[in-house]
Amino acid sequence: MADSEKGAWHQLWSTFFGKSWPMWVGGITLAILNVCLFLVRSPWGGTGSYINWGQNIYNSLGIIHFTKAVSSIITHPYGLLGLMTVLGAFAGALMSRQFAVRVPPLGELIKGIIGGVLMALGATMGLGCTIGGFLSGWSALSGGAIFLALGFVIGCFLALRYLLWEMEKLPGLSMGKSLTLLAASGKSGVWQPILGVIVIAFLLIGGSLLYKADNILTWFMVIGLLLGIICQRSRFCVTRAFREPFMTGESEAPVAIMAFLLIGIFGFVVIKYMGVGTATPGAARALAMTQVFPNFWLRALIGGTIFGLGMTIAGGCAVGTLWRAGEGQVKLWASALGFMLMAPISKLYVVPGFSKILPEWAKQNVFLPDSMGYWGALLLFMVIITFWYVFVKWNERTGKFSAI
């Protein structure tokens, strides 16, 4: 009996932590968690995490004093969500024996910082990153989210052209000594799963005591932890979804993003259309406009292009940076640092001037059901996703748009 129980537990552990999950599994489960976040308070977003972290850093160092009160990381919903995503990825990497501190060559570290800075500029100027602006924005039927995604495509393509040029003309720029520390190896790596279980237990017990009087923060803590684990186990990456068709032609990442969007759109539409949790017309309208930003169309296109450049150079988008940092990739530590240091600066000093020079027609607040109804908006997104799917599958087979 003991042997069979041990075998069952071993099989269960191996299922979750023995090998990486299919990315589409990550897409579906993450979309369900995003719908849960919407029901709790507001959908998944990444830029708010980096802004909160950066504001706390500047305030603690006394470099910049923000006039509005800045919540601490553990009391700000999105500051906490981002932190728990990193820690969840850390725990997931430990339990799968994949954690290691991977230090790249200096050139890659510099590109990580530059990529993070560009993502911060793009996210704040375009009012959206790959999580809140794209994944949650499409789910929310935001018109600006379509142009944000188009900007990602343009930025990704341009960045790839640069990287290919760099490999040919400046091959030594990102070459040099790299270092890997604390990697699991044979029996010597048994400490990683043990530490992973301890980390999970500590976070859940500590969080339940810390947030026992705040249901919203409790949910953001638990869901953030699950987001990090699932992202790490499934290697969920929006950057790959936009990059791979132009590189290897593989369709795994785009299909995973499409799975996320299909689940997310359905869940968000039910919540908005039914006015879940609202009692007045004003509250229902506020719910409908959740995750719909005044960035239609040029503002989103410009911000998305800048963000696409940054995420391709850094090797990770808003969410990819978080979970890759959690599993020990130092280049993404540099990316996260660049993102969090630039985001509050850009929001405070760059965005006001940028928004001022844009005409009103370039930064409208467009909720597509207002002009075409819920069924029309749903049909539009379904058509876009269908054409995207056909394209990536055709390109995977033919390699017409692949550089490699």
User: Phi-psi category of 127—alpha, beta or left, where left has phi over 0 and alpha has psi -120 to 50?
Assistant: left
| Core vs surface per residue 170-198: b (16+ CB within 10 A) or e | eeeebeeeeeeeeebeeeebeebbeebee
Position 21 in a domain: no
Q: What pLDDT does residue 252 have?
A: 96
Tens digits of per-residue pLDDT, 133-157? Answer: 999 999 999 999 999 999 999 999 9
Q: What pLDDT does residue 67 have?
A: 66
Percentages (nearest 5) of helix, strand, coil residues in the chain: 75, 5, 25
**What three-state secondary structure class fits 329?**
strand
Position 2 in a domain: no
Position 300 in a domain: yes
Q: Report the candidate in 99, 323, 123 with the shortest Cα–Cα distance to residue 231.
A: 323
pTM above threshold 0.85? yes
- Contact of 9 with 244, CB cutoff 8 Å: no
Q: What pLDDT does residue 1 have?
A: 43
Position 303 in a domain: yes
Position 190 in a domain: yes
Q: What pLDDT does residue 402 have?
A: 85
CA distances from 223 to 85, 163, 217, 380 (A): 8, 36, 10, 30
Q: In which domain, by residue range, is 237 found?
A: 31-398
Taking the C-alpha atoms of residue 315 and residue 174, their distance in angstroms, rounded to an integer, is: 13
Tens digits of per-residue pLDDT, 236-275? Answer: 999 999 999 999 999 999 999 999 999 999 999 999 999 9
Q: What pLDDT does residue 172 have?
A: 87
Position 404 in a domain: no
**What three-state secondary structure class fits 77?**
helix
Backbone angles phi, psi at 19, to 5 degrees: -150, 165
How far is C-alpha 289 from the chain's CA centre?
A: 21
Taking the C-alpha atoms of residue 149 and residue 136, their distance in angstroms, rounded to an integer, is: 12
Position 26 in a domain: no
Residues (pLDDT < 70) of the chain are: 1-6, 67-68, 403-404
Cα R_g (the chain), whole angstroms = 21
How many distinct structural domains can be found in the chain?
Answer: 1
Taking the C-alpha atoms of residue 356 and residue 351, their distance in angstroms, rounded to an integer, is: 8
Tens digits of per-residue pLDDT, 39-59? Answer: 999 999 999 999 999 999 998
CA distances from 337 to 42, 113, 181, 319 (A): 25, 7, 21, 14
How far is C-alpha 153 from the chain's CA centre?
A: 16
Q: Looking at the chain, how many residues does it have?
A: 404
Position 260 in a domain: yes
